[in-house]
Each structure stands twice: as structure tokens, then as C-alpha cells.
Structure 1
Amino acid sequence: MAVPGKKPYKQFSSSTLSMGSDEDLKVYCQPCDRDGLTLPAYGYCTNCSEHLCETCFRAHRRHTLSRHHNLLDKISMPPTLSTATQRQPDNFTNPCPKHNAEMVKFYCHDHKALLCSVCVTLEHTATPPCNVNYIPDISGKTINSNEYQDVLTELSDLAERSNKTLQDMKEMNVVSNKSLMETLTHIMKFRTKINERLDELERQVKEAAKVIQEDNIKIFKSVETVCRDVSKSLKSSSDAIKHFNASKEANDLFMELKHAEQMIKEYEQKVDKVSEFEVKEYNFEPNEAISNLLNKEMSLGTLKGRTLHPDLKYRRFSQMDIICMKRQDKDTCIITGMTLLTPDLLIITDYQNRAIKMVEISKKSVQARHNFDSDPWDVTSISQNEVAVTLPFNLTIQFLSVSRNKIKIKHTLKVDGECHGISFHKDKMVVSFCNPAKVQIMLINGTVIQTIQGEIIFKDPLYITTSDNCIFVSDLTMKTVTKLNWQSEVKGKYVCTANPHGLTMSDDGTVYVCYCDNNTIEEISEDFSKEQVVVKDIQNPQAVYWSAETCTLFTNSWDYTGEDNFIKLFKTSK
């Protein structure tokens, strides 16, 4: 049927592909056109969205990367170039690092690599072939793209991290050098009380202090050089990306983005490496024996160092995944405890449904469960196939064996109070009790080693987390997180902004606390000197668990209607 105002397409001749006389519409081979040749189109590739001359058409059928493409002959091919398939100009100027005479023109999605035509032929045509694109075919999509925004964000974040690392190292060096100066002053005051026999010993200890100062200076200069170079390179790359984006130079923008992505990975390692340098604070401890009997001692004193730590490590959490817990039970799934047995097996206590459940993360589903006759509260892993669960209203700790598809009771441990929080660490359990309010360190057989209690310390301790050096306890009523050592001594107390619930500790000593009443998770430094909110707007987080292996923070989200009923996973690169 003819369309008013439109002329029907004419059949193409054997070589020229024209329509009409004054309105000729000639279509030429696009690959040859890029090389400066004007040859009439013989066919069309729908995969590449290109018209091809007879030579290119036949080569297209034979080449490994294109032999399975859908080709149209000159009768069936489109008579015009679609504006949607117009390419960016291919004025390539970046030489291939492997083949200097060739320009980079292609991108391999499988290897995330920029390539020249020689690279494609030699390294990316195996069976099956790589997913390789000609850059002008795909570069147009990078203008103001999500990738453009993401790379700029990562560049900015890494630059911020680099600057923060430099600032932290600068501040710690000031403290360290100040402490060393005070130490030297103390040495001199102590030295005035003793006779000239100690001149040599004094010289030795002062030299030791100066050596440490020199090492501090060397470390700082090394860190300063790396961080300044990183910041300079990141700014240069960021400026280039913004320039290419603003000028819509898609090819250069695309390649700069890919260079930036590689540079981000490289510089992350550099910044991480310089962050690992240790700087210590020193004080001088006089030798009491020398003070009393100088002629029998051979040491003026010792320089003792305490490792300084920078502020909270820069972590940016983003939600990675959610596991829906709706409609798996009659009542809303209220998770009050969680622990990880393997990177893919999460064990949770469901207080509302009186159950313990094994969740397979990759399948996002409950693979096994066991129901109790009382409400469970918290859970800790004893081994990869055993967990312990607190049942506060039964005054018991229940031990269970866990397999791939089954949870079974092993044995029960009676305790002398309403046990809530529990954490297992190196053959010892730490358990919190709300009635009476106390914390106990005990062996797995129930033998109590230490008891910490008192109204000044605890009123409603709900959760526990442990490490080699310390124990942290959250107290709902007192709105505190208390730090203890394994000798049951209180080493610090953090006053929370809201009522703290579940808590967990990362491998570097950072503590994560969730607040059910203001829907946040807070990150606190081990010495309570720094804090920051890392997760916001999560509905009633009750339990939290940190996986050092995958750098993932697990928590729950729920409401009383059951509409919001999830396990949520938050990922960080640090």
C-alpha cells in the first residue's frame, strides 16, 4: 500500500544503489569509508549495523568474530544509513602499548582491555571468541552515562581516601615526634640525678630515640610522596574525563574512563600499602634499679612504643543484595541474632516464630530450620557445623549441629539467669544476662571463669561481640557500649545516641552497632574516639554481623505488618 507523500523504494542496480535522478541516495561500504575508500554497498550486517562492499561482505562471512552475524544481500538491505547507527568519528590517536604502529580501536568486554587490530587478531579470536567491539560503535553511550558518573565518584572517593591517609599519617607523626621530644626531656631530667658513669648509656638511648625519629620522617616522606602523586594523577584523570565529556569527545572519554578504572585499582593498592605503615608513640620509663644501685645496672631505661591508629578507616557501604523473608512463616520473621558459618551459610534466630534458620545466601532461601518451645534470642558459631543459641526464658543455652539441609539438637546447658547475647571465641563463651544484669566468661561446658556485674556497669546487656583483645557489650537501658578485657576489667564506655541493639566487630577492631529506634547502623573505633553512621534508613535493624572474608555487613529489616521483612547485605571494598 502506498503512503501519501512518500515515494516507494526502487529496486537497486547491481553496483550503484541509487534511487531517482535528482534524489539519488547512494549507500557505500562503511568500513572502507573509514579507510578513505568509496565503494558501493553490496550487503548489510544487522549485528554491526553497517553496509559492506562485496569484499568486506565476503570477509565478514569468513572472520571468526563475524562469521555468525546476520547478513542481508543488496536487495534486502536498508537503502539508507540509519542515524541511530551513525558512529563517532574514528580519529584514533592512542597508540597500542604492545604494537606501537597500531592505534587502539577496539575494546574487549571479557578482558576489559583496550586493543588494536593486531591485539584482536592475535589474542582475542580463540574459540569461543571474545566479545570485542569497535570503539565508535559503543563509545557514544558513555556521554553522561552511569559509568561516567561512577568512575568520577570512585576517583573522588579514592582521592579523598588518599588525602585522609596523608592527614592521618601527618597527625600521628606529630604525636609520635612530640612524645619522643618529651621522652628526651625526661631522659635529661633523669640524667641529672645520676653520675658521670652513665654518660655512655645516656648517649645510646638518645641515639635510639633519634633513629626512631629519622624512621618516622622517612615513613612520612614516603607516604607523602605516594599520596601526593596519587592525588595529582587522580585529579589529572578526573579533569581529563570531565573535559572529554564536556566536549563530547566520546572516544577519548571512553579510553580515559578505562584507563581511570585500571588506575583506580592500581592506586587503591598503593594507598592500602602506605596505610599499613606503623607509627608508634613513645615514653621513657626510668630503670628503678639504676636509681637505687647505679653501679650494678647496664641500662638507662627503655623506649616503649604504643602503635597509633588513624581515624576510622574510610568505608563506603552500598546495598549489595536482599533476601526476602516474607510469607515463609505465619508470623513476621523478627531476627534477633545472626552468625555466618561459611561465606554462603547464614544462621539466624527468629524470635517471633521461635525458630533457628539456615539461610543459603546464593539461593536466597531458608534451607533448614528448627523450632523451639521458647523464644530464641542470639546465636554464635562454635565451629563450621555447630552453633549455640540463647533461650532467655528457659534459662538455657542450646547447642545444635548444622548440616547442609538439617539442624539437630546436640545438648543443652542450663545457666543461672535470662541469657541474651552470646559470643564464642577461642574455647570460651561470653554471655550477657538481663535478669540479673551481668556478663559471664565461661567454658563451653558451663564452667564460669569470670563474672562482671553491678548497676553502674550494666542494667540491660543484650548483645556481645569479642576479639583477641577485648569484649564489647551493648546495654539497651543505659544506652552504652562497654569495652572489657578478658580479665573482666572495664576499659571504656561509649554513650550511644539511641538504644543500641546488635553489634559486631571487624578484623581491624571497628565495632558496628545497630539502632532499632532510629533505623541506622553506626561504626565506632575500638577506642571510642571516632564514630560515623554507615547505613541509614533501614527499618528496625535488630541484629548485625560482619564478614571479614567478603567485606560484607549483614543486618535485618522488618516492621510489625510484615511488609518490610528482609535480610540485607551491604558491601564495602575496604
Structure 2
Amino acid sequence: MAVPGKKASKQFSSSRASLASDEDHQIYCQPCDEEGTRLPAHGYCTDCKEHLCKTCFTAHKKHRLSKHHKLLDATSMPKVLQQPSTSIHTGLSDDLTTPCCKHSQEIIKFYCNDHKNLLCSVCVTLEHQPTSCKVDYIPDISGYIIDSKEYQIILKALNTTFDHYQQMVEDAKEMTGKSNRSLKDALEDIKKFRKEINQRLDELERQVVHVVKVTEQENNSNITSVETSCEEVTKSLKRSSEKIKQLNTSTQANTLFMELKIAEKMMEDVEKTALHLSTYDVKEHNFQANKTILTKLITERSLGTLTQKTLNKECQPIQIKTRQSSNEGKICVKTSKDKYRCCITGMTLLTPDLLIITDCNNNAVKMVDTSSQSVSDQLQLDDEPWDITTVTSTELAVTLPDKQTIQFISISSNKLKKRHTVKVDGKCYGISCYQGKLVVSFNNPAKLQILDMNGTILSTIDGKNIFKHPLSITSNRSSIYVSDWAMKTVTKLNWQGDVVGSYRGMSYPTRMSLSDDGNIFVCDWERNVIEEISEDCSTGKVVLENLNNPYTVCWCGETKKLYYSCRSLNEKIDNFLYINEMS
């Protein structure tokens, strides 16, 4: 016989699967027995269908999940095991058979009202203890659920959601079919357009070919006329020469005299004919192509534009999530080298701890250490800088409008140093760099240019009917954003120069900065606010208000901080960078 509290032997454990029938046979606590500890049974739970030792019996009456169970003491409990204690389904209702997704050997039999989770006993023990969660035993609370209001509501919601997704599939099929048909129509239009171009080129070719053929016919007619005239003259000359020779041989002096005079007169006429024939105009021809057509074909970026119109039903504009902001303070950027009030017109983030700003009043580019909240270096330029962009982790590009120049600046050992310059063909203001390409804005005339790092113009975007004064530019992989204070717009273009979006809810938009979720922060200088505009420029929302003429803004995605400067003509305001933490 085993000693209570000692580990059961494997031989005994393997033999206990058979149910005992002898009333005098010792019954042990089944929960403890499963853990390998043999303790005599002190009672029995009719709900769990388990024999319990004195400790488990007492705990069973106190535990929130089992205190309502019906317990039998030692005199009333069954004197034989009711089922093998090794079963993982001990004490479960017949329909509680769903395994726990976290603990595959356990069955779900509890529900946490606070976390709305279905639980097994291990989940309750480890994560949802009754002292912190309201946990119920499912058989205790499930009696009302048949044909209940909750049953009706959830069933209706399931059916509604099912119908909604079925409709989504049908709508998607319908819209995709319509889109594919529109693409097929577009291809037919492209072929038709190409045919029209070919027909026009054929017509222009026929015109030139006609001129060539007419000229060739004239040449052939003229040469025939010359050949005929020359043949008649040569025959007359030959007859006269032979007759003169004959008369001279036959010593017919009178006739020879007359024939010589006739020949002399004929020579005068022949000379006139020769003079006339010598004026025959013969030209060599060369074809000079109409290079306007060729240039137009070369400079055009596409055969046409494939315009798009959304087919989404009940399409809603992209909504901007609500942001909470808290003022973190300000950084003074006025230095001993400065003669005038600061005027920060450009700002770019090099690292979360380093901001590079342009101060046009003091002809300076400044490095601002946001950790120490001070200007760590300052580079003086020959002229007023306007905007600035990060080219690489160690290189910047700054626009100098009055010099019509882009100044490149390097950074080494936290020091700013002037490098080479690139000349541009106008007053350059806004600048942005993405993957080795510079986008630059110009006024008078308003336009954008995309340049390589050597200043070679890759393409030009005419600002006619789009811009008047494109002040600031920012760009990413797919888009270019331009703010225009005269048009009161923020315009979105693709890299081919096509306008794909426009936001018109501002009074005087100035500098911009892209956020990490694709939205755009924009200073509205006149309204004293900073707005966040959605990626597609369809909606906007004020995130900071009651400012002092905000002019330049820069977003740090890593620290969730928004830096901005003001242009209020007040030295106590303009000499600082302001910091707001956004969440």
C-alpha cells in the first residue's frame, strides 16, 4: 500500500485505469494524483466528478469558479472512482470539447467578461485570475443563451456581414470588369490615335513626293526640249559645212560666196540659241526634315495620358487620424555671428538629433543639435539661402535664388563645409531630393525642373494654369507636392508632371514636410496654423493653431516631434525653433 504524500510507482499508475469495485479500496484525490502525489480522498465534487483531498476540498469551496459546485463529504462520496482521473475532460459538460488555442491539451470551459475571451483552466491560472478578472464557468452562465436576444442580434449581424462581403465580391467583380473593358477601349483609342498620326504623316509624305515627281517631270521636259533644239542646230550646221566644202571644190565662187554669207548669218542665230540654252536652270535637290515634328516626338513623354476615375462605391476621402500635441519648448537659433533677426526659410532633418536650417537674413546655414538645444555649427554663404534638402547622409543642397545657383554642402565631424555649385536657368526657390533626383521650383515663369546631381535638366514641368508662385516642394517615391501661396493650393503631381490631386483649403501655404504615414504638414502663414493634409490632398485638419505666423515645418517620425519656425518680424519670436510632440 502506498504511503500518502509519496510519488506513486509507474506500476500502480498503469493499473489504476480499471475502476475499483471494492468499497474498502482506498480512494485518492484525483487532481493531486494527476500530478503524481497520492493523498486520500476527503470528499467529492458532483460537478467536476472528481474525488478531492482535504486541501483541494477546502479550496474548491472558496474558489470563485467552483464555490457553487455541489460537494459531498467523506461519508456521502462515492466509494469507487467514477472515471479515470487521467482524462483531460474530467468534470466537463458533454458539449465542452473545444481545445484551447494556446494550450492544446486543455479544453475551453471559462469566459472572461472583462477581456471578452474564452479560456481554459491554464489561461485562468496564468492570465485571468479571479482577483483581477470577472471569470465565469460556461455551464453556469450559458443556460439563457438558447433563442436569446443576444443570439438573435449576433445571428443577424453575422448574416448582415455575410451579405455585405458577398456584395463586396459582386461589386469588385463588376468594377474590375468595367475597368478591364475601359482598358480595352483605351487600347482601341490608342490604336485609333496612332492610325490618325500615321495618316497625317502619310499625307505629309504624299505632298513631298508630289513635289518631287512634278520637279522630275519638269526636268525631263526641259532636257527633251534642249536635246531637240541642239539636234536641229547640229543638223543645220552639218549641212552647211558639207555644202560649203562641195562648192569650194567645184570652184563655184558665186554660190560659195552666198553660202558663206548664209552660214555666217546662221552662226549668229546659233549663238543666240546657245545663249538661251545656257540659261537652262537645273537644280540639285536635298530633303530637309521638319525637325519640329521630330523634336516634338522626342520631347513628348507619352503618346497620351491614361486618365483614371475611381469606381469604388461610396468612396470616402482618406481621413486623417486625430493627433494630440504637447508643447515641448523652443530652441534659440540666434548666434553671435548673426547681425540681424533670424529668418528661417528652410529646414531639413539629418538625424533625429540634428536639424539643418537656412537663415536668409544672416546668409547662413546652421546645424541645430536638438539634444543640447543649441546651434552646433554655422556656415556663412555669399548670398541669401532659401530652401534646403538632404541629398545623402553627409550632403545637403541649398537654393540661392538671386544667384540662380544650387549650393552643395558637405557634413564631416559635425561641421558644415561648402562644396561645388550648380548653375540653373532662373531664380530657384523650393528644392527636394529623392533617390538622386532634385526637384526645383522657379518663379517668372512658374515651373518645376527635375535635375540630376550635375544640374542636367531631366524634364521640365510647365507651371502654366497650375502654379503662380511655387514656394515649397517635398517629394517621395511616387509623388511631388508643391505649395503655392498665390494660388492658395497644395498640389500633388506624379513624376511625369501630371496633376493627380489638389488641396485648396488654405490662405497662405508656405513650407511643407512629409509625415511617416504619407500625410503632409503645411504651414498656413496667414491663418496662424499648421495643417495636416491627407496623402491624396482630399482632406485637411488643423493640428496646431494660434501660432505666430508659422513659416517652416519639419517632422521627425522617429521621435514623433514637429519642429516649426515663425516669420512674424518680431525678434522675440523669429529667433527660435518651436517643438511639439505629436501622438
TM, length-normalised to structure 1: 0.48
Rg (Cα) greater in structure: 2
Q: TM-score, normalised by structure 2?
A: 0.48
